[in-house]
Amino acid sequence: MIKHILTGTGVALVTPFNNDTSIDFEALDAIVNHVIRGGVEFLVVLGTTSEAATLNQEEKKQVLERVLKTNSSRIPVVLGMGGNNSLKLIDEIKNQDFTGVSAILSVTPYYNKPQQAGLLAHFNMVADVSPVPVILYNVPGRTSVNMKADTTLKLAVHPNIVSVKEASGDMAQVMAIVAGNIKDFEVLSGDDALTLPMLAVGAKGVISVVANAFPEQFSRMVRAGMNNCNQEAKELHYRLLHMIDLLFADGNPAGIKTALNCLGLCSNTLRMPLVGVQSTIAEEIAKEVSRIK
């Protein structure tokens, strides 16, 4: 099998909602067009930032279909497909229509807190049945389990596993994976604030939250970092760093929806149990949006 490598800037798309929390498809169109015009390399649909946990199956289907239609094959689309019930996830993959989908992003099982052997078995099952390449997603802050570098490297040799979105915040772990030098396997940043440092040690891109609002600036930073244009990359990194901190100060995607609202791209409506950012954070985000745009 030829491995499909997705590098550069991917965007973890939000799901915009109307005031009644129904999906705002026109705003979704606007955001997809905004990030593509901004120069990002690929889209990620139904990841954590999309509030996928609050969407029912029909809504997930509608969101994916709308993104694929609006994208119109301009850039690759990655679909979030993860879970903590391995057999249920395998069944979902077998029944998913992958037309127009380039890869899946699959998070480590949450809540169950599996051992490393369990993670190996889980992801090997996923990769065996998926008709498209698999991007692993390690985010212990959300799942309460860290996929260690050794486990990632064991999975990296699977012919259908192409990369890992590393959001552990552990640079030593990131470097251990990069140093493993597995052919046709890449590390992607899962933390906007650490993207430039991760690029410096060998990562090949990012799946970004801030790029929903600032795709042009963030993707330029990533390209500069990947091309060793260090001064330009550093300037863009520090230009965005305070905004990135603010976006996560009251949780994701509450922060990024506030920024998108300031840009006129969508409302800052979330679905419970998530709520909007505090007024003081919202004011700071608005000031940063005015400064950056």
Contact indicator for 93, 117 with CB cutoff of 8 Å: no
pLDDT digits (tens, 9 = 90+) for 189-226: 999 999 999 999 999 999 999 999 999 999 999 999 99
52/228 Cα distance (integer angstroms): 36
The residue among 200, 263, 199 whose CA lies nearest residue 208 is 199
Q: Is 110 a catalytic residue?
A: no
pLDDT (mean) for 160-175: 98
- Choice among 60, 110, 165, 287 that is catalytic: 165
The helix/strand/coil state of 153 is helix
What's the pLDDT at 5? 74
Q: Is 165 a catalytic residue?
A: yes
- Choice among 60, 137, 204, 257 that is catalytic: 137
pLDDT (mean) for 98-120: 97
Contact indicator for 56, 229 with CB cutoff of 8 Å: no
Helix axes 215-226, 25-37, angle to 10 degrees: 40
Residue 3 pLDDT class (50, 70, 90 cuts):
low
Tell whether pTM > 0.85: yes
Contact indicator for 218, 208 with CB cutoff of 8 Å: yes
**Four-CA torsion 34, 39, 44, 45, nearest 10 degrees:** 20
The two three-digit tokens of residue 267, written as one number: 């409302």
Q: Domain ranges for the chain, please list them.
A: 8-229
117/251 Cα distance (integer angstroms): 31
pLDDT digits (tens, 9 = 90+) for 59-68: 999 999 999 9
User: Which contiguous run of DSSP H or E holds residue 132?
Assistant: none
What's the pLDDT at 4? 59
Average pLDDT along the chain: 97
Please count the other Cβ atoms lying within 10 Å of the Cβ belonging to residue 53: 11
Please count the other Cβ atoms lying within 10 Å of the Cβ belonging to residue 133: 23
Q: What angle do CA 159, 162, 163 make, to 5 degrees?
A: 145
CATH number belonging to domain 8-229:
3.20.20.70
Residue 1 pLDDT class (50, 70, 90 cuts):
very low
Contact indicator for 6, 42 with CB cutoff of 8 Å: yes
166/188 Cα distance (integer angstroms): 6
Q: Quick check: 122 pLDDT over 90?
A: yes
Q: Quick check: 103 pLDDT over 90?
A: yes
The single-letter DSSP state of residue 43 is: E
pLDDT digits (tens, 9 = 90+) for 170-192: 999 999 999 999 999 999 999 99
Q: Quick check: 79 pLDDT over 50?
A: yes
73/92 Cα distance (integer angstroms): 24
What's the pLDDT at 293? 82
Q: Quick check: 2 pLDDT over 60?
A: no
Q: Quick check: 93 pLDDT over 70?
A: yes
What's the pLDDT at 61? 98
Contact indicator for 44, 80 with CB cutoff of 8 Å: yes
